[in-house]
Amino acid sequence: EIDAVYRKLKEYEDLEEQGLLLRLPTEAYFIKDNIVRKGLVQELVYSPCRKLLLDIRYDDNSLDSYRGYVGNTVFLTQAEAEQKLNEMESD
């Protein structure tokens, strides 16, 4: 039984090394009303236009949610979101 678990772990490690394993984020940042907000990822959708689309629930105990494309209005780090917001404000 331990050998089966080890083999499965090794398989995941191999897939990760090949770039074939996608780790889903638990948190993401998004831009709404010219403010960077943080939220919890609810769902990841691979859209027909080949961009990752995330559904995010606000991190403020509300039931509000936001949906956006990674790299456009949704970001995996706060720094990326703030950089994009600065770019948007300077245009």
* pLDDT 10s digits, 48-76: 777 788 888 888 777 788 888 888 889 98
The beta-strand segments (E) located in the chain are 27-32, 35-46, 52-58, 65-69, 74-75
Give the pTM: 0.68
List C-alpha distances in Å: 6 to 2, 10, 21, 28: 6, 6, 17, 31
Q: pLDDT tens, 5-49?
A: 888 888 888 887 887 776 778 899 998 889 999 998 888 877 777
Cβ–Cβ under 8 Å, residues 63 and 57: yes
Q: Which amino acid is at 10?
A: K
